[in-house]
A = this chain, B = another copy of it.
Amino acid sequence: MTSLAINYQNIITASQRIKGHAVMTPLLESSMLNQQLGGRVLFKAENLQRTGSFKFRGAFNKLSKLAQTKQLKGVVAYSSGNHAQGVAAAAAHFGVPATIIMPADAPQIKIANTKALGGKVVLYNRNTENREAIGQQLAQQHNLTLIPPYNDADIMAGQGTLGLEAAHQLEALGLVPDQAISPIGGGGLITGSATALKHHFPDVTFWGAEPEGHNDAARSISAGQRLANKNPPISICDAIVTPMVGELTFPIMQHYLAGAKAVSDQYVLAAMAICMQQLKLVVEPGGCVGLAAILDKSLKVKGKTTLVILSGGNADPAMLGLALKK
């Protein structure tokens, strides 16, 4: 077996670093929704995290470690918007300038908030330009440190603190989850969280969820090797349409995940509506793919205890309005 990039102890260390800086987000459930679904579904409401998504956890962990060991002149990151805000907020905390490379078509709320958090935003064209290349060029030119979105042990361990918290919250309720589901983009969140959750609950079945046509994780896990998406369709799940899972995240996916479910935009919008109407939470499209997999019945919850990670809430009003019309 390939050695894995992170272990449980890395997540404990990360949780000590982020303590008092990140929000301990609540684990919520709706008795009415449980009744409708015929099972107990607990939602980790990470849309309530600082900067509106889990990304603050990893960014803060990474910058906290970097700030201890080296003089940071500045950091640079590329992101569709959530990692952008996480890095901008963490960099502001450590007094380090942050340059963020974002697609010009990112949700307005993500661009505006990244700027509001003090980030210097550089827009690029998602179809014609390469964000990694722009990032590396800026890093070299200005002596900036690149903060990768997922393929980094400290980022993965930071995101894993979400799974650690959820494990403690489930234990406090006296619950042992049968299964868990988390959005998959590059794999930082799901691999960190699975590492933590599997330590507490070795028998939990852990699933990923990703948008239809962007099912690189599912195919990669089945094939036993990293596969890219070919001609992926446009998806409303902007946060998790990464082209391929990471080199460091993939072995952990192989080790811990049962597979990944692919969900359609229609079910994602329906999941957003349920989040607003029943859970009273604003969750962005990419944040509620796990609930979408329950709604389209690809994940069975009847008679089971299920943990669903709602990973972020940065959606523009127009997108929320679209979901409310469902």
A contact set with B: CB distance below 8 Å? 23, 25-26, 28, 30-32, 47-48, 50, 52, 89, 109, 113, 116-117, 273, 276-277, 279-283, 313, 317, 320-321, 324-325
Contact = CB atoms under 8 A, between A and B. Distances in A.
A321 B317 CA distance: 8
Contacts of A277: 109, 282, 317
B313 A317 contact: no
Given A28-B23, A32-B113, A281-B282, A324 B320 contact: yes
A28 to B, nearest CB: 6
Nearest to A89: B31
Contact of A280 (B313, B317, B325): B313
A325 B320 CA distance: 11
Q: How many copies does the complex hold?
A: 2
Nearest 7 Cβ contacts at the A-B interface: A280-B313, A317-B324, A280-B282, A47-B280, A26-B26, A276-B282, A321-B321
Q: Which secondary structure characterizes the binding site on chain A?
A: helix
Given A109-B277, A280-B282, A281-B281, 5 more contacts: A31-B89, A52-B280, A276-B320, A277-B317, A317-B324
Contacts of A313: 280
27 contacts: A23-B28, A25-B26, A26-B26, A28-B48, A30-B50, A31-B50, A31-B89, A32-B113, A32-B116, A47-B280, A48-B279, A48-B280, A48-B281, A52-B280, A109-B277, A273-B317, A276-B320, A277-B282, A277-B317, A280-B281, A280-B282, A280-B283, A281-B281, A282-B282, A317-B325, A320-B324, A321-B321
A52 B32 CA distance: 11
Contacts of A320: 276, 320, 324
Contacts of A50: 30-31
A50 B273 CA distance: 18
Contacts of A325: 317, 321
A257 B65 CA distance: 48
A213 B125 CA distance: 51
A123 B1 CA distance: 65
A282 B26 CA distance: 15
Contacts of A48: 26, 28, 279-281
Contacts of A26: 25-26, 48
Nearest to A49: B280
Contacts of A281: 48, 280-282
Contacts of A30: 50
A109 B273 CA distance: 13
A271 to B, nearest CB: 14
Contacts of A28: 23, 48
Contacts of A52: 280
Contact of A117 (B32, B113, B273, B279): B32
A89 B35 CA distance: 12
Nearest to A276: B282
